[in-house]
Amino acid sequence: MEVDCRKLALFNVDGNVYALDDLCTHGHARLSEGEFEGHEVECPLHAGVFDVRTGRAVCAPLTRDARCHAVKVERGDVFIATGIAAEPRP
Ligand code: FES
């Protein structure tokens, strides 16, 4: 999905929606095309793993966290503030 000219990847973890920049911080790969399980997404290119709740880079080859955006869900509508970093929830 694209918001304010940013490509984002949305993830649902136990009913909570999280939004990360879709582009991996390691290379040119889309996290929305990665393997998603639990609260982690694996990059499809080199298998780096991000915690989608925070954007934290969990393992090599990643050295930089993904940008995590604030998300609010109201009556089924998802609102994303791309200029505001999400507060850590987990
Ligand atoms: S491009 Fe994502 S881990 Fe390398």
Q: Which domains does the chain have, with CATH numbers?
A: 2-85 (2.102.10.10)
Cα separation, 10 vs 85, whole angstroms: 14
Phi and psi, residue 32, nearest 5°: -65, -15
Q: Is the CB of 58 under 6 A from ligand 1?
A: no
Cα separation, 25 vs 41, whole angstroms: 13
Strand order in the sheet with 35-37: 35-37, 40-42, 49-51
Residue 30 in this model has a pLDDT that exceeds 90 = yes
- So what's the pLDDT on residue 74? 93
Residue 86 in this model has a pLDDT that exceeds 80 = no
Q: What is the pTM of this model?
A: 0.90
Biggest alpha carbon distance in the chain?
39
Mutation probe of ligand 1 site: the residue of 24, 25, 33, 58 with most atoms within 8 A of C-beta: 24
